[in-house]
């Protein structure tokens, strides 16, 4: 399935931690060329040393950060919008600052990065694939998730609109919508057994996702095996949003 990713150039945002870093590593294992985008220079340098990827420092919370992404050094075949931020607040305590920051990174950055990626793909005339890393929170109500859910629902809407506009250029756009994924940060955030069990017990499979279980669907959507899949929002949640 992944043979066709070999030597293809894929941009990954949010590349220095969590799902983004796991995507970079998996793409490099598939012999893809990766342009890893993140804010932390030290982590980018380490990622480059370990994985042999190209790196680019950029703060995607501002439009200037997305416009600083240079895609002129070679062909581009795919992109994964993995940069994200979760500032969870009860609706009665929601702040404008937290809401705006999540919208700027989770939604606006995905739209603007996709714009630059699409321009490059169209100029090449080669088509391509974009995968947005959304969340189950974009599909179903969750306590204390108002701002985060709004930003991820916006990302899913961005996916559908990009699908419609870019389809004639043979550019596919999809979202994956994971449940809690056990990255190092999530393991800390969900370390309270009472809190974790309350959500796990609502998941038909009774567990959270492992990073690889989110990464492999992303790689599938980037590959030619998904050549007729576009505009989809795919839950990776053990059935949580189905019940």
Which are the catalytic amino acids?
A: 148, 152
Query: How far, rounded to the nearest angstrom, does the alpha carbon of residue 100 sit from its chain's CA centroid?
Result: 19
Query: φ, ψ for residue 67 (rounded to 5)?
Result: -70, -15
Burial class (CB in 10 A: 0-12, 13-18, 19+), 201: exposed
- What does the alpha-carbon distance between residue 190 and residue 181 come to, in Å, rounded to a whole number? 10
Let me know: does 209 contact 187? Beta carbons within 8 Å. no
Find the Cα–Cα–Cα–Cα dihedral 234, 237, 239, 242, rounded to 10°.
-60
Residue 175's φ and ψ, nearest 5 degrees, are: -120, 145
d(CA 203, CA 207): 7
Calpha distance 18→142 (Å, rounded)? 21
- Rounded to 10 deg, the angle between the 211-222 and 18-29 helix axes is 60
Element (DSSP H or E) covering residue 222: helix 211-222
Q: Which regions of 162-212 does DSSP assign to beta strands (E)?
A: 171-178
d(CA 203, CA 55): 37
């Amino acid at each position: 399935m992944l043979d066709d990713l070999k030597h293809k150039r894929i941009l990954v945002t949010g590349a220095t931690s969590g799902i983004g870093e796991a995507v970079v590593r998996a793409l490099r294992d598939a012999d893809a060329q990766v342009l890893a985008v993140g804010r932390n220079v030290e982590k980018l340098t380490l990622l480059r040393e370990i994985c042999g990827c190209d790196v680019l420092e950029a703060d995607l919370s501002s439009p200037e950060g997305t416009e600083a992404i240079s895609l002129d050094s070679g062909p581009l075949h795919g992109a994964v919008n993995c940069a994200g931020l979760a500032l969870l607040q009860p609706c009665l305590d929601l702040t404008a600052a937290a809401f705006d920051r999540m919208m700027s990174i989770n939604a606006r950055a995905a739209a603007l990065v996709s714009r630059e990626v699409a321009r490059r793909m169209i100029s090449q005339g080669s088509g391509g694939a974009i995968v947005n890393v959304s969340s189950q929170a974009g599909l179903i109500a969750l306590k204390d998730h108002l701002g985060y859910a709004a930003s991820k629902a916006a990302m899913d809407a961005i996916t559908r609109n990009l699908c419609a506009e870019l389809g004639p250029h043979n550019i596919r756009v999809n979202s994956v919508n994971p449940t809690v994924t056990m990255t190092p940060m999530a393991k800390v955030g969900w370390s309270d057994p009472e809190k974790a069990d309350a959500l796990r017990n609502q998941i038909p499979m009774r567990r959270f996702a492992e990073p690889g279980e989110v990464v492999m669907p992303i790689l599938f959507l980037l590959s030619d095996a998904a050549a007729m899949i576009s505009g989809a929002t795919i839950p990776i949640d053990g059935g949580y949003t189905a019940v």
